[in-house]
Structure 1
Amino acid sequence: MAASALPVDPLWPRAGSWPTASETVGPIDLAVLGIPTWRASLSPTGAHATPAAIRDALRRYSPFAASLDGRNVDELVIADFGDVPDPDGTEGERRASERMTEAVARSTLTIAIGGDNAATVPAALGSWGDSISTAGLVTLDAHHDLRDGVSNGSPVRRLLEAGLDGRRVVQVGIADFANSKAYTDRAREGGITVVRRDELHRRSMTDVIATALSIAGAAGGPIHVDIDVDVCDRSVAPACPASVPGGLAAHEVREAARAAGSDPRVRSIDITEIDALADAPDGRTVRLAALCVLEIAAGLAARPPVSSAAGPTATRL
C-alpha cells in the first residue's frame, strides 16, 4: 500500500508532513535536506530515489514517542529543504555543500538524506564551513571509506585531505571481511579510532556513541555523524549493496541515531547507502531509515533547553 493510500484517522496523526524551508519563518529545530548522490557508486545503485522514498515511508509512522514523556517529535519546528539537483561531480558537490550550509545556518540540527555515501563529503563540508580544523566525524559503517579516487568508498579519505584531523574521527561498526589490510593500515596511520563490530557485542550502543562523540568533539568544533545503513545486518538492510550478515540490528542503529541526535555537539547527520529501488518488497530498509530520522528528531527533542544566544533555536521540547 502506498503511503498516499494509508487510512486517515484524526486521532492517529502521521509523521513527515513538514513544511518546506520557504514556508518556515523564524528558527528551525530540525532541517531535512536530500542529497541524492549515486553516479560514482562502486556498485550499481538507484540511491538517487531514496530521499523521496524515505519521505514517503515517514507517513507510515506516528510522530508520537512514549519514551519522550508522551510527546510528539513534530512539536519541534521541522522544515524540509527539498533535494539538491544532481549533486554528483565537482559542481554538484558545490551546490550540495552550499545548500547544506544554508540549512545548518537556519537550524539547530540538519539531517542530510542520501544518496550513496558520497553525500557525506558535501554534507560534512557544508556543515563545518571554516571550522573543519576543529571539527569531528563519527561514522557508523561496516567500511573505512578510505579508498583512493572519488566514489562512495572514499568520503573519509577526502575529508581528511580537506583538513579534517584523523584523531577526531571515530568509526563504529567496522566489519571483518569487508575491508582490506591496506585501508585498515591507512585508518591506523591517520589516527582514526576504530570500534569493530565484534566489540559492540560487549558494549551498549549509547555508551559507544557517547565515547565516540567525546573523541570527535575534543577540539570543541562541530560534529558530523555519518549513518551508512550498510552497517546493519543484511536481513534488515537488503537495499544496501554492501551490507553483510552479522551487522548491526535495527534496534542498535536506531539507538545510535537517537544518541547522536541528543548531543548538542552534533550539528549534522547523514543517512546514506540505501538503494530504494532494490529494497525488499516490504520496504524494510527504507522504513528503517525513516525510523532513524524520527529517532534523531526524538534525540533532538530530548536535548536540554538552550538560550537564544546559544544558537538559532531558543527552545526545545
Structure 2
Amino acid sequence: MTWLITGGAGYIGAHVARSMSDAGERVLALDDLSAGVAGRLPADVPLVRGSSLDAGLLKRVFAEHEVTGVVHLAARKQVAESVAQPARYYQENVGGLGTLLEAVAEAGIRKFVFSSSAAVYGSPDVDLITEDTPCAPVNPYGETKLAGEWLVRAAGRAHGISTVCLRYFNVAGAAAPELADTGVFNIVPMVFDRLARDDAPRIFGDDHPTPDGTCIRDYVHVADLAEAHLAAARRLADLGGDLTVNIGRGVGVSVRELVTVIGEVTGDTRPAVVEARRPGDAPRAVASAERAAGELGWSARRGVREMVESAWRGWLLHHPD
C-alpha cells in the first residue's frame, strides 16, 4: 500500500511519517507548511506542498503516487482560536475533510485513518472515558472533530471505505529533538516558555475535586501516538471495518504533578502560581485504553518523565538561547 499523510510535516504528522516509513510502509506527505516544517520528514518520504482543501491537487497526487490509503491529520487545532474563529474552523476542519473524502471516494481509495480528539467528549464526569461515553464537546474545535467523525463514517458507509477514528488525549514529547513541538500551545512547551522568560508556571485552579485540587489529564507520548497510527493503518489493510478508538495511557496525572516533573527535568523548581479556573475545564479526563489494546494491539510504552525529558531536549535544540 501507499499511504498519503495530510499534515505530514507537522509535529504529529512527521512522527507518523517516520514511524510508518521505519516500519516499511510506503508513505508520502501533503502539507502546506503553514505550521509544518519540511526538514522534519525522513529523506525517503516525499513531500507534496499544498492543501488538502485543493481537490485538483488531491486528484493528481492520488493518481501520480498510486495512493491506496490516507491518514488525515491536517486541521486547525487551537481551542481558543476556534472560539474566536468558529466559521474558519468549520470551513477548514469539516469542509476541508469533505473535499478530501470526495476525492478519496472518486479515486477508489478504501482505507482512511482520521485524526480526532478527546475534545469530542467535552467534560464528562467519569473516572475513565470509554469510546461509548456520550460526546458533548464544549468548544468549536471539539465540535468540528465530532462532525468530522460523523462525516468519515458516513462516507465510509456510502463508498465502502474502511475507517478508523483515533481520539487523541494530551500529546507530549518527541521521538527526536528535531521533531519536537515548536508551538507554545500545549502545557509542556507552555511551561518551558514561562521558565525561559524567567517566570513561574501557571496552574488554572487548585480547588477541583481531585486529590491535589488540580485537573487530572491523560498524557501520551507522541512516539506512542505515531505507533498507534501505524497499528490503525495495518488494521485497515488486514481487516478493514469501521472503528473508533481512544489513544491514551489510561493513567491520570495532575497538572501539579506534571509541573513538578518539568521542574525536576529542567532544574527550575520554582513554585507554580495558581490562577482562577478556566471555564469548561473538566476536573478529570483520562482514557480507557482497552479498545486500543484489543482492536489494534497497541498500548502506550512511554511515561510522563520520558515525555518531558524528550520535549526538553527538543526545546533546547530549537531555543538555544
Output the TM-score relative to the length of structure 1. Answer: 0.36
Higher-Rg member (1/2): 2
Output the TM-score relative to the length of structure 2. Answer: 0.35
Question: Greater relative contact order (Cα 8 A, min sep 6): structure 1 or 2?
Answer: 1
